[in-house]
Amino acid sequence: MKIQYKIIYILITVLVIYTLLFSGFIYYSISNYSFEDFYKRLEIRAATTAKIQLERPEDVSSIKEMRQEFLEKLPNQQEYIYIIDQQDKLIFKSGTQPLPDDFLNKVMQTSAASFNEKSILYSGIRYETLRGDEYIVVVSAENYFYTHHVAYLRNLLVTSLLYATMLIVVVSLILSRTLIRPIQNIIKEVKKISTENLHLRLETPEKDDSIGKLVLTFNDMLTRLETSFETQKNFISNASHELNTPLTTIIGEADFALSKPRSAEEYVKSLNHIFNEAEKLDKKTKALLLLAQTGFNGKTQKFDKVRVDQLILDVKETVEKINPAFKITFDFSLLPEDPTKLKVKGNEQLLHLALTNIIVNGCKYSDEAPVEVALGASDSKVIIVVRDSGIGIPKDEIQYIYDPYFRASNTGNYEGYGIGLPLTRNIVRLHEGELIVNSTENEGTTVQITLPIGNYKF
């Protein structure tokens, strides 16, 4: 069953049940009230009848006229009077027919009682006159309010229930379409996304509700999938080429050395050549595997709180150990007053590796000229800017800088494998950050890394 119809059925069921319970409660309450109120009215009339007919029988005609003029005549109203003799026996004095003995005995015992027979209600009292004589006075009448007004209320409630059900159906249709339409749009957009166009993203709604969070979560998942697919695709497309070159050299050199007896110096030379190529192969393999790991799944990495200013100082020590000639200057003028704004949620080793790659590249391609590292923070982000004055990247080649093993055409005099930037971008993506590279050939390169604040409280 489609979720749209499920929502309609659930809403209709819940609201109809609620309406039925509410209507039943009203009907039951008013019905009970009509009986209680009518019994009270009959009891009052029984007391009035006793005073008129038993206390002042000589004025009965004038009092009856006053009662007829000022008191409403109830439908099918009847009056019954029983005399209670000295032996507590009942003597029928007036009325249309004798009443049930159980009812009369109950009036004798409790001084007041009531019962109903179909639509006729009876209310009786035990009355003692001023002279000391005792009587049972009963008044009966048809409960007009119940037979007419409550019946009208019942019809009104049934009609209202029918109209309410129709309204509920219409509202449920409108509400379900309103709720389901964003989901249907998401399904429609998701169907357009495949392995060939993982760069597509769902349009983020303006409202920050469950649908918006679902879209953001799905877009984050697409980002991870895109990174994973790109990494795997690049691994397959580049591994054979990049690894084949040193393997071919090693095999060729070994075949050359073994083709005929050679001098010791020649063997040593061949072994050195093989060793150098094997070392290059080892570095490329490790870099490639690390790139694949960082691009596969962010959940496999252990994240903790990392203070970025301390991280940058640690990276400086690492870079100086790699090459003491590298020079780094810092600009901490934009540091926030609140130190918690410098803490991000991440993997310290991976972030250390990413910043080391960027700063080492800046120093290397600047011919060891100073590289400036600036650090700042806003209410939600930490921003790191690495600026060098090196050889830069040609404008028509900057689009390829994230392809593994790609090296710009002006880097021939510099050692490298083309792994640093793709690896750094994957690490930044794992931390839900952003990497922006701006470069001008022969003027320098500026790399900006933006990371979300981890919202830690200490």
Could you identify the residue written with the tokens 């960082």? 294
Of 295, 446, 280, 441, whose CA–CA distance to 361 is shortest? 446
Give the pLDDT confidence score for residue 96 in this predicted structure.
75
The third-level CATH classification (topology) of the domain covering 3-150 is Beta-Lactamase (3.30.450)
Task: Say how many C-beta atoms besides its own lie within 10 A of residue 117's C-beta.
Answer: 11
- Is CATH 1.10.287 the classification given to domain 211-294? yes
Q: Tell me the domain boundaries of the chain.
A: 3-150, 211-294, 301-452
Residue 131: both structure tokens together: 């002279």
State the maximum Cα–Cα separation within the chain, in Å, rounded to a whole number: 159
CA distance 111 to 144: 26
Contact 102, 91 (CB under 8 A): no
Burial classification of residue 220, based on how many CB atoms lie within 10 Å of its CB (0-12 exposed, 13-18 middle, 19 or more buried):
middle
* pLDDT by residue, tens only, the chain of 458 residues: 566 667 677 777 887 788 788 888 887 777 777 777 777 887 888 887 777 777 665 555 555 554 554 456 677 888 888 888 877 788 888 777 788 888 888 888 888 888 888 778 888 888 888 778 888 888 888 877 666 667 777 788 788 888 887 887 787 777 767 777 777 788 888 888 876 777 778 787 776 777 788 888 888 888 777 766 766 665 565 556 556 667 888 888 888 888 888 888 888 888 888 888 887 777 667 656 665 565 544 445 567 889 999 999 999 988 888 888 899 999 988 888 888 888 998 888 888 888 988 998 899 898 878 999 999 998 889 999 999 998 999 988 888 888 777 788 888 788 776 777 887 888 888 888 999 999 998 899 999 999 998 754 43
DSSP code, position 453: B
CA distance 446 to 437: 6
Give the relative orientation of helices 210-258 and 151-191 as an angle to the nearest 10 degrees.
20
Q: What is the 3-state secondary structure (H, E, C) of 184-223?
A: HHHHHHHHCCCCCCCCCCCCCCCCCCHHHHHHHHHHHHHH
Contact 100, 113 (CB under 8 A): no
Give the start-end residues of each E strand in 106-153: 112-117, 120-128, 134-142
Helix (H/G/I), strand (E/B), else coil: 179: helix
Give the pLDDT confidence score for residue 296 in this predicted structure.
46
Contact 106, 113 (CB under 8 A): yes
Of 30, 7, 19, 22, whose CA–CA distance to 163 is shortest? 19
CA distance 155 to 409: 89
* Secondary structure (DSSP) of 79-105: EEEEEE-TTS-EEEEESSSPPPHHHHH
Give the pLDDT confidence score for residue 375 in this predicted structure.
93
Exposure class string for 307-327: b at 16+ Cβ within 10 A, else e: bbbebbeebbeebeeeeeebe
CA distance 143 to 130: 32
> Who contacts 253 (Cβ-Cβ below 8 Å, separation ≥6)?
270, 273, 274, 277
Residue 421: both structure tokens together: 């930037």
**Which whole-number Å values give the CA distances from 50 to 75, 137, 244, 344, in the listed order?**
20, 6, 122, 92
Give the pLDDT confidence score for residue 3 in this predicted structure.
64
What's at 284, amino acid-wise?
A: K
Chain centroid to CA 434: 26
* pTM metric for this prediction: 0.46
- 407-413's contacts with Cβ under 8 Å and 24+ in sequence apart are 410/441, 411/365
What CATH number has the domain spanning 301-452?
3.30.565.10
Give the start-end residues of each E strand in 220-347: 304-307, 328-334, 343-346
Give the pLDDT confidence score for residue 217 in this predicted structure.
85
Helix (H/G/I), strand (E/B), else coil: 449: strand
> End-to-end distance of the chain based on CA atoms, in angstroms?
50
Give the pLDDT confidence score for residue 382 in this predicted structure.
93
